Amino acid sequence: MTEQHIASAFDRDLETIQAHIMKMGGLVEAAIMGAARSLETRDEELAQQVRQGDKAIDALEDVINEETARLIALRAPTAGDLRLVLSVLKVSANLERIGDYSKNIAKRTTVLTNASEINGSAAALRRMAREVEVMLRDALDAYIQRDAELAADVIVRDEEVDQMYNGLFRELLTFMAEDPRNISSCMHLHFIAKNIERMGDHVTAIAEQVVYLVTGERPTEARPKADTTSQTA
């Protein structure tokens, strides 16, 4: 009976922490799309909301860290239970970084408001951000449902984000070559694109954590990586 009571208490504590994870994930999803939308519509007020909203994301990570440490101290989980608890910390850390990238995009939106608009770039960035946001939603669903197959699908889809980044990077280079007056705006847009690409990497890390959590093994195949802009000959 005592062991059952301990197990029940562990499950309740873990459910509370995972509820925080899902709330944090929802805030991060909203931050991704809010940052992209503020860029496309040049909405400084929305950009400011995204920047302010990052505080709530950071606060949730602190709560998750504190409650996870308390859970480990009080319940002393072992084997699979410990792997599950530690996965919470890794997922929340990746969510926090994605939130930071959203905040960084929102900061650059303010700078770009009065700059010359680069044809089609904001819409392309929004599509790229949308892909990452859907990946994140699926990765979190996979985490809650312990669905390794869905997580593996998310990992594969990161290659599409990389390809979108590569295409936009080439377009921005063309715009800069055609008119030097575009250089400043294009540099900011490139940093935004790179932030979104890095978001995809963090979403992939969450999905990889799901695969490990379910199977006890890391994904066997190397993560597909299609970002060629930083490769050297």
pLDDT per residue over 212-232, tens digit each? 999 888 776 655 565 666 553
Domain interval for residue 190: 2-215
Residue 119 lies in a domain: yes
Residue 226 lies in a domain: no
Distance CA 206, CA 21 (A): 12
pLDDT tens across 69-107, in order?
999 898 888 877 888 888 999 999 999 999 999 999 999
- Percentage of the chain surpassing pLDDT 70? 91
Residue 228 lies in a domain: no
Residue 229 lies in a domain: no
Domain CATH number, residue 85: 1.20.58.220
Structure tokens, 45: 């007020």
Number of domains in the chain: 1
Report helix angle 121-145 to 79-112, nearest 10: 160
Burial class (CB in 10 A: 0-12, 13-18, 19+), 46: middle
- Cα 195 → chain centroid: 10
Residue 172 lies in a domain: yes
Residue 196 lies in a domain: yes
Residue 225 lies in a domain: no
Please give the mean pLDDT across all residues of the chain. 89
Residue 14 lies in a domain: yes
CB 218 within 8 A of CB 211: yes
